[in-house]
Structure 1
Amino acid sequence: MSHQSSIKSCGKASNCQLKRRQGRCRLQRLKCAIEAKISLAKRKYGLNRINYRIQNGEEIWIRMGLLAMNLKKAMNYR
């Protein structure tokens, strides 16, 4: 039977712990990048409010906003 101490050890982190920490950092960077794109879509392309009052209007509105984002990016691509 093993128990965990409430005091952390001050030694070096194991290889497994370092990999876990690097993985968490990578996921955090990915999450920040995704949230930045969502924020851009809300600010610049009007995805913070839905203007269609028809059935499936919200899906149409979001798809058109994402299409506008992709077209703008494609036009700037050289």
Structure 2
Amino acid sequence: MPRITPIPARRLRRVFELAGFVCVRTEGDHHVFSKEGVARPVVIPDYDEVPVFIIRNNLRTAGISREEYFQLLKQT
């Protein structure tokens, strides 16, 4: 399985949109995504490269597995 590497915020936002999340608001340089059935919102900072620890935390919050993440990433 490939390693999770830093990716641009725009591409990470697209991954979560493909997973069914909707951007409910933007606060400064952070985009807040929500999806029915997910208890907590997913916050994606608008960085050139989003660090791996933020990607992992957001995947855990969203309930997205590594395999599903890489499948969605291929679609972007």
Provide TM-score, normalisation by structure 1. Answer: 0.24
Higher strand share: 2
Higher helix share: 1
Higher gyration radius (CA): 1
Provide TM-score, normalisation by structure 2. Answer: 0.24
